[in-house]
Chain A
Amino acid sequence: MANELELSGNQYKDTFLAGLWRENPVFRLLLGMCPTLAVTTALKPALTMGYSVIFVLLCSNIVVSLMRNLLKPHLRILMFTLTIATFVTIVDIFLKAFQPEMSAMLGPYVPLIIVNCIIICRAEVCASKNGLGVSIIDALGMGIGFTLALSVLGAIREIFSTGKIFEIQIMPDWFVPCAAMAMPAGAFITLGMLLGLVNLISKRKS
């Protein structure tokens, strides 16, 4: 009995850690690319996007996991998107009310969380097959992994495009800010380089 408990404890830990590195949604599964590229002009919008996604992912995984036995196969994608759309509406109204500045900056990318592949992918792969506990842990792991990836990208782009981070100057005086990093081209190229780096690190490890 004790053994069994330990095993499930390990399984939870494993599920949680998978989202952080081994199956990191951005770096490994290449999911959720549009918000990743669009909102990472600086660290702050990246973090806001990150916790919005954690909230939506958590709620939708819980609901999908609870209704998994009622789903009809051909209608399941529709049910997933409708569930997600409901929670995204909540986040959108919440941001408009409490962080109007951030809401204006993120613009249509908040409602676009609905079609963020990560959330549908987790609903399909994990929540529609597993119980409540595993689904919650999985949502947290994946959500935090996504937020981490977004923050790394946001921080790099903010440093190179303005020389500041959270309004604090960190680069020396001789540093010339590179405006292209804040533009779409910078986003694509930074992410490409980071993916190459991740490949390199994981190859060294194995």
Chain B
Amino acid sequence: MDTVTTLVLGFISIVVVNNLVLTKFLGICPYLGVSGRIDMAFGMGLAVTFVVTLSGTLTWLIDHLILMGTPFEVTRYVCFIMVIAGAVQLVEMYLRKFFPSLYDSFGIFLPLITTNCAILGLCLFINLWGIDNLAEAVVLSFGAGIGFTMAICIMAGIRENLNLANVPENLQGAPITLITAGLLSLAFMGFAGMIR
């Protein structure tokens, strides 16, 4: 029972309280780049969720079964980035084969998931927080993906309406998006301190 509570709390905390995009600034590039339309934002969110779950789990396993306590610990970052690049390659091949239209609409952003800070960031945070059981690592990685999807979808919804608003000329595009993100993160600050 105790483990289940920890897992549920961990999940909620990573989705809303410690949301990677709005409180840790991870994954801002796709957040600004792909959040123009809500369907694309959702697709991107799902792709990131898949990659982050896979790589979060794999990096935890590699870290704990192979690297920890050996001199090879210095190669941690290199190993992490290899795993992530491999997982992205997998998603890319899968999408190209089964969802060609979605694959085309992603364009350059798909290979760029490799360099999405949210994914490497999560792997590093799992290492930093000293998560020492596999189930928790899996739940946290999955929750991080869901949190990212949620943030990017909310943003896409706001931006679709922003197109109709009268924004000062110099603030159009990226500046107003950042200011919107600021207000959004102000709203999410309300969750701070709820857990941990």
Which residues in window 165-206 of A have CB below 8 A to B? Answer: 180, 183-189, 191-193, 195-197, 199-200, 203
Majority-rule SS of A interface residues: helix
Separation of A170 and B189 alpha carbons in the complex (Å):
29
Interface residues on B, range: 35 or more
Which B residues are in CB contact (< 8 Å) with A191? Answer: 178
Across the two chains, which residue of chain A brings its CB closest to B168? A196
Q: Do residues B176 and A115 form an inter-chain contact, with CB atoms below 8 A? A: no
Separation of A31 and B117 alpha carbons in the complex (Å):
12
Interface residues on A, range: 35 or more
Which B residues are in CB contact (< 8 Å) with A33? Answer: 25, 28-29, 32
Which residues in window 41-90 of B have CB below 8 A to A? Answer: 74-78, 81-82, 85
Q: Pick the interface stretch among B6-14, B131-139, B157-165, B180-188.
A: B180-188
Q: Do residues B178 and A189 form an inter-chain contact, with CB atoms below 8 A? A: yes
Separation of A189 and B116 alpha carbons in the complex (Å):
22
Which A residues are in CB contact (< 8 Å) with B195? Answer: none
What residues make up the interface of A, taking CB atoms closer than 8 Å to B?
30-31, 33-34, 37-38, 77-78, 81-82, 85-86, 88-89, 92-93, 107-108, 111-112, 114-117, 120, 180, 183-189, 191-193, 195-197, 199-200, 203
What residues make up the interface of B, taking CB atoms closer than 8 Å to A?
22-29, 32, 74-78, 81-82, 85, 111-112, 114-117, 119-121, 124-125, 128, 168, 170-171, 174-179, 181-183, 185-186, 189
7 pairs, A vs B, C-beta closer than 8 Å = A34-B27, A34-B121, A78-B85, A88-B77, A111-B124, A184-B189, A185-B185
